[in-house]
Structure formats: C-alpha cells, structure tokens
Chains A and B, each alone.
Chain A
C-alpha cells in the first residue's frame, strides 16, 4: 500500500509511465520464461527417448534389414550421443527450426502449424462459453443466496465437476448431433460458420467443466462485494441494481474469477487431447498422441515446447488482465 501511495503521488506516475512500467514487467516475465522453456526442452528430449521404441524401425516396417534401419538412424542423427543430439536440437531451435518430422517428411513447424487452429478455437471458444455461462449464473446465485436457485446451482456445479469429459462429450453428441441434428457429430467444420457450429459441442464440453469453478469463485466474491460499504453507498445513491451489479460488484469480483479462469485455460492448453479425440478434432492434442506413438521426436519436442510457451503466455495474459482490473496488483 505504501508503494501504491507513493506511485500515486509521484509526479512520474503518469499513464504513460504506468504503461512503460507494465511493458517492462512483461519483458521481465518473458525473460524469466526462458529457463522454464529450456527445462521443458531438456525433459521432453530425454523422456521421449526413454520410452522403448525405435522410430527408424517403425518407419521402415518389420521387414527392413538391420543395415537399412541403422542407415536411417544415422541419417536422422539418432546414432549420436544424447548430448550431441540435444546440442544440435538447441542450435536448430535458436534458428527457429524445430527439425523435420520423421514420418511426414515435412518441417515440424509446418506440421504443427496445420494443427494449431482447432486447438486455439477450442481454448478461446470454451473460455468464452464458460464466461457466458458463469457470469449470469453466479450473479443470480449471489443475489438469490440461499434460495432454491442458489441451491440448485451449487448442486449442479458439483455434478458438472464430477462428470468425465469424454462421457459428457458423448452425451452432448448423442443429444444435440444425433437426436436433434443441430450440430455436427465431430470435425472442425469448413469456413467461419462451420467452425462456430462444429466447435460448439467440444467447447461446451470443456466449458461445463470449467464453469462450476468459475461460478463458485465468482459467487463467493460477489457475496463479499455485495455486502461491502461502497455497494451499499452506491445503492443509497439510487443507482440501478443492474448498474450496481455490473459496474461495481462484478468488476471487483471479476479479479479473482480472471485468475481462476486463467489457471483453467493454462490447464486446458495441454488438456484438450481428450475432447479432441472424442470429437475427432485435428488439434495439437491429437497430434501429440500420434507423435508419441510413432516416436516422432521432433514433433513431440516441438509440441511440448509450444504447450509450455502457451501456458506461460496464458499465465502472463492472466496477470496482465488482473493488473488492468486492479492496478494495485502488479505484474512482478
């Protein structure tokens, strides 16, 4: 608080300076992420090689001679020592090169790039849906505290939290795709409208898993805020209830919800695989599973690094959002 006051009273604390300060914090956070990313590359590099399985034998099939398999291993550099292989990987990585997919014979960046869109859609869409579900429901539950609606919301939240995603996904497909035919059974769809339609059920599956956590966090915060002096003052001034809720209560209650949402999105980044498989989505999670099964080392390493960077980015974005909502909380 002392710092806040000093910043607030300092002649240098102009909006421009605050923006520069925030930018500096973002850069520092980005730099702090580098050791994390390097740690991820080391772990992934070692772990994928610890699993039994020879990609060269897989690629050439059971009938290939030992000499042919050895030649392919040499061509891929797999006969070199692990430190040498890792060094080569790092050198290529520094040049923005994730290597060549062992099986698709294309740059790993190109293969990964072609799988990014469904996963990004899934993450963003499910985040939007979970917010769309959570805010009105949490607000209603807070306002109607202890009433049947509130009790119902708490009960349904518990049930939703306990539902396994594959099962829920299949139920939604059975209901909305097979019974009433309003959404496709699976796939990514074609064109913007196609994507919005095709990605709705998978995103809803995830949103139903996240929404109870958000609702709980938002409801608790709203209850606290609705009892605060400034809300009473706002009401006493004659402000509309909707304005009190939207402008004052929700704004402040959202700070904690943003953190909860950010944590869940970060988890989502690497946790979309189940939903992608259930809905037959060609996303990064599905690609990761295939790549691990094939022992496509460059793809697995590239995907793990991408997931790590996405998690770091989401966490950073969450902190930025929180600091915008509540300037007292910094980024450092």
Chain B
C-alpha cells in the first residue's frame, strides 16, 4: 500500500479527476460527429441554372400552425401552411400587380346580369391520393367555408354554388360584385367532397390535398413535415421532395440556425439584422413587399379623441420618416392612407403627411382640448418596431401638449382590449390574404361588425360606408377603384385611424435555395423553391 501512496501523488489525482470530468464533457463531441446533425457553414450558392428537382428544405418559422383546416384558420402560420396544402380556383398573383390569377380554374366568365360566375376547372385535376377532383369537390369546399364561423365572412356575397358539370362551377352572388378575391381566399381551399367520409379531425390529421404538398407528419408545436404532392396540377412542381416546417420563436436563435445552415429558410429576419445577414457569405435576405400596414386606432369614446381636430393634429405631429428610419432601419415606407401601397386600388395621391408641428398646434388650438391631455397608448410587448415607434410618437405628441403613457401588453391581451373597446389609443396592423380590399375594409369601418375595428374606434360614418358599399356592389374595376379612393380620402379626413408605415416580409435563406417566392399576401410559394447541392 505504501508504494501506492508514493505513486499516486496529489497532483496526479487532481490531474486524473480533471481528465475524467473533461472526458465526460467531451464525449458528446465524438457523438456529435456520429449524429451528423451539424451543418457546414461553408456552403455557398453555386450557379442557379435551371430548377433542380429533389432535396428537402428546412424552414424555421416563429410559431407552429394551429390548424390546417382551411375554414378554421385565422393566424398567418396556419394560413400559409394551408396555402401550400390546399389550392383554390384562383390565387393572388405572386407579383405586386394586385391581381388574382387562375389556379385550379383555367378562367371564368360572368353572366349578363353580372350575378353568375362560371369557373372552368383544369382537365385532369387530381387530389394527392390520385382520386379525381371535380366541381362537386369545389362546391363542397366553398359551401363548407360559407358555413364556417371563422372565415365564412368572405363568402357573404355568395348566394349559391353549383356544379353544372364535372369541370364547371357556377357561383351565383346576391349582388354584382368582384368574386375573384373570394375564390382566391384560403378558406375556399379545395378538399374532397364530404372530407372523403372522414371527420374533420381525422381528415386533417392525414389530409388529402390539392396544393403542391401534402402533410406526412405533424408534431404539434414542434414540426410539420410536407412531402411533394405527386398529382399537383403544375407539371414538374414542386421541385422539392419535401419541406420541414420547424418552430423557432426566438429571433436570435432563428438567425443562428440560418447562419449554421441548420435552416434553409427563416422567417422574419429582424430589421436590425438584415444588413449583417446580407453581408454574410452563403446567405441571402428576401425582402418582399407586403400588404401589411401598421396604424394607430383611436377610441373616440375617450373624450379628447372624439374631436376630429385632435385626431388630425396627432396625425400631423407624427414623424413617420423617423419611425421608418429608426424602427424599420429604412426597410419600410411611411403611409398616408389606410390602404397599403400593395393593396389593389391604393390611392397614391394620399402621400404620407410630413411632420408639421405648426399645423398640429393650430389644429389643437381650435380643438376642444387646446391645452392638451393625457392618453394611454397600448402596444404589443414583443414588437421591437412598435416599441421604437411608440417612443417616437410619445415624443412627437408631447410637442403639442399630449402626454402619452405607453403600456405594453401581450398580443392576445392587446387584441382583446381593442375588441372590448377598453383602450384609448393602440397600435395594430392589418394585411390582406387576397388581393381584394373587401377582406379588410368592412372590418375597418362597419360600426356593427362584431370584433371589427369600427366598433372599437366608435366609428360610424355614413359617407365612408356608402363608398364601401358602392365598391362591394360593383364588378367594374374603374368604379371599384373610384369608390375605394373615396374610402381612403374620407378615412384620412376623419382620421379614426392614423396610418403609420408599411413593412416588407423579410426572410433569410441559404444561397443554395432558389426560387423562394413571397407574394404580397404573404403565402409563400414553396412549389417554386429548389435547392442546389
């Protein structure tokens, strides 16, 4: 035993102890090589060339979809998943031309009385399981959406849907109206008649789809795996064999996954990081025009905000350019209309008001609150751009005697406060899912629409309602444009909402991913994406 003592010195013991600890810590290094889960950051985009078929892309999103049932979804992640699973008769153009273009239909005709729309289906359409897609399936899908609680509002103009033959769908409307936006709507995505005899839960757990992809597995809240629909109507598309939609809510973590090439696409690159991502070899930033507009909603039940001069003074005092520069790092656009520039029938003559404190003070002086007032300003706690905008607005309004108290709420609480009219001033946003302002204008101005912003702002303006009605009850594009121009002008005059800015969709991609297309409606076209090796 004594020799043992001389051999194992204290120093040697310490060395061994540390070595054993280090070995335990280091063992995953070896295992990580076996796992093969580590991407190389050295990959760079080769020459694009013609689209290549094959490969599997990973797409890191902020959140998971809640549902993939077209008639039940209301959040963007679900809507954009649905758009890649269930095709519609028409869909929004991928460019910013504000049009709807044929998808499952080849085109349409309109009856002389402008009440019946006839859509011709493409020949040989099939569901992802190979079964034929007929007009009966389209009728079932549109009727199902009309009856739905979440999305039925878009089909309000539809009186009836009929399958006049296997390849023709006739939709009759209550009044003459432009129906192309309606048939482009995600809620009218086509599913098999009767959901193939299954319950909704069973069907959407293993759906039969009409879009470019079908869903092979879904670990809710974690990942959704999409595989190519072999019977998609566009020959050769999609190019990718599959896509995994993962959930990475943290902005920094998502960006790191892109930098580590663990994700091929990431959603919502923070504006503060766009320049650094752009500068990094092997990465790209896709900045796509969006239909989103961010604005202030003013609750006219709060006495000072019931005065139109106060509201206009506030609009005149706000420095939108600074918000775009500091909040959006220059990647947005100041707004002067309650239509974003990408919306159909946007009135470009309504330029954003330049901050003019003298005008604002004059308006305040002649208002019912010439000495100013205090107002609570509610914003979304997780939105960095909103936080910056709020600080700028707080400073701007103090110049005209309005003392702003910024209050932050989680999105759900803020949404609830606006719906229940328990706010004074709040920042919120709107975007279009189809290229038709009808989706949002009644939501903005209808005083009787439950959950709408009209009741929240206590807005009841017969002039704007009349112009909106005229737009809805027309099939003439020029008449619609004229009516919506009046809607925008009137909203600017009475200022129940103060438009602030529009912002683009910002995606980061690895440069071996090509063809990632994001239309202004946000429903990215994964069918066009492809990977180089």
Contacts and interface: CB of A to CB of B under 8 A. Distances in A.
Q: Which of A63, A66, A239 has the most CB of B within 10 A?
A: A63
A271 B41 CA distance: 31
Nearest to B262: A185
B292 to A, nearest CB: 14
Given A185-B256, A293-B412, A132 B21 contact: yes
B150 A173 contact: no
Nearest to B260: A185
Interface in A217-257: 238-242, 245
B63 A290 contact: yes
B32 A184 contact: yes
A128 B60 contact: no
A287 B37 contact: no
Interface in A40-92: 51-54, 57-69, 71-72
A52 B35 CA distance: 45
Contact of B150 (A60, A66, A278, A294): A60
Contacts of B493: none
B411 A293 contact: yes
Contacts of A133: 21, 25
Interface stretch (B102-110, B122-130, B415-423): B415-423
Interface string B4-44: 11001110011011101100110111011111111111000
B262 A137 contact: no
A286 B416 contact: no
Interface string A272-315: 00000111101000110110011100000000000000000000
Interface string B206-249: 00000000000001111100000000000000000000001111
B220 A104 contact: yes
A23 to B, nearest CB: 33
Q: Is the interface of A mostly helix, strand, loop or mixed?
A: helix
A57 B252 contact: no
Contact of B417 (A52, A191, A196, A286): A52
Nearest to B382: A293
B396 to A, nearest CB: 28
B23 to A, nearest CB: 9
A330 interface: no
Interface string B146-161: 0001110110000000
B452 interface: yes
Given A51-B413, A136-B20, A183-B28, A60 B149 contact: yes
Contacts of A263: none
B253 to A, nearest CB: 5
Contacts of B18: 136-137, 140
Contacts of A178: 41, 256, 259-260
A193 B35 contact: yes
Contacts of B40: 181
Contacts of B32: 182-184, 193, 196-197, 200
18 contacts: A60-B150, A65-B450, A67-B450, A69-B451, A132-B21, A143-B13, A181-B40, A193-B32, A193-B35, A239-B1, A241-B9, A277-B250, A280-B254, A282-B221, A282-B247, A286-B247, A293-B412, A295-B412
Given A63-B451, A63-B452, 10 more contacts: A59-B74, A62-B74, A62-B443, A67-B450, A69-B451, A72-B149, A139-B17, A189-B37, A240-B4, A280-B254
